[in-house]
Structure 1
């Protein structure tokens, strides 16, 4: 049986972000038979505009939709910006929601995790991301949650936090089990 492919979308564009590090950790600790692939071009997507969503759609949009279509599931790893979803991630959700009712992630399982500076670890952004994806067409797995305060890492890579590493591995395994 081929590996289960999980598309990873990171809501932060910063190369050294904790959320990027969490995505790396998820890939490193994924169970056997599960392969995570980060789509690292969210910053290249034009703002969603139905006028430009046509046969000549921008190449980064086409690449995102192809990556999503080729995936079995998606893991979204995101911070919280001003109490909500980072704009770059919301824009990706908008592109992935089209054509409406038949987007590239339609009915595929999606989990949302991440870390943020706020005292709730990004819960608001994670909840809003789940809501947006739920409307956009994927099947959001509500039970798969991880919202961590960045202070939990004390300046170290998340892989140094065995509790978070274990939780993340468990989430990736359960997300893969939702593929079917």
Structure 2
């Protein structure tokens, strides 16, 4: 009998804000995951230098090297993003630039990747997620199409401590992490 190997998913929040709804959503995804995969949260987004190809020659910045190692080692990715000007935040795009360029280029290719996001507005980061999906697909990631987790009016679905109180959101997060776990296991 073959035993399933548990995969590791690296999770990134595109928000730098201390009380971020998206970071809270990421923590809720970890908390409510059924355990098909181990989810490790990356919290170094704000420590990455802005991408500059001149600084990507030879040994990369310590934070860049650490991010690249963690992405390369992970069997999947979970990226949670707010929406900034109908797109992804600059800090998230910067991290994606660092992991998609030589010599790191290719570490995301074929990697199962799930996307989610939250916003206090009426669209739940839908446009930011669309932009994120386009970026990830251009990097060769295996982006899950369903379920879509765009939590609109998130301030009404979360408690003051950041915990998700809406059962539908909890259910969608579990579905998303289960789908990601299944995709990781199928590789």
1:63 maps to 2:62: no
Cα distance in structure 2, aligned partners of 1:54 and 1:100: 9
Per the TM alignment, residue 9 of structure 1 is displaced from its structure 2 partner at its CA by 0.8
1:83 — aligned with what?
86
When the two chains are superposed, the root-mean-square deviation of aligned CA atoms in Å is: 1.7
Superposed displacement of residue 154, structure 1: 5.7
* Structure 2 gap ranges (5+): none
Given the two structures, how large is their TM-score scaled by the length of structure 2? 0.89
Question: Is 1:35 paired with 2:38?
Answer: yes
**1:96 matched to which residue of 2?**
99
Partner in structure 2 of residue 162 of structure 1? 167
Aligned to 2:55: 52
CA offsets 1:135-157 (integer angstroms, 9 cap, x no match): 12211112232111124326543
Q: Secondary structure, in 3 states, of the residue corresponding to 1:142?
A: coil
- 3-state SS of the aligned residue for 1:111? strand
Candidates 119, 135, 139, aligned match of 2:138: 135
Q: In the alignment, is the contact (CA less than 8 A) between 2:159 and 2:165 conserved in 1?
A: no
Aligned length: 180
Aligned pairs (5 A) from 1:112-127: 112-127=115-130
Pick the aligned partner of 1:153 from 142, 145, 157. Answer: 157
In structure 1, runs of 5+ residues without a counterpart are: none
Check whether the contact 2:108–2:140 (CA below 8 A) recurs between aligned residues: yes
Determine the C-alpha separation between the residues in 1 that align with 2:104 and 2:143.
15
Local SS of the residue matching 2:170:
helix
Q: Relative to structure 2, which stretch is displaced further, 29-38 or 17-26?
A: 29-38
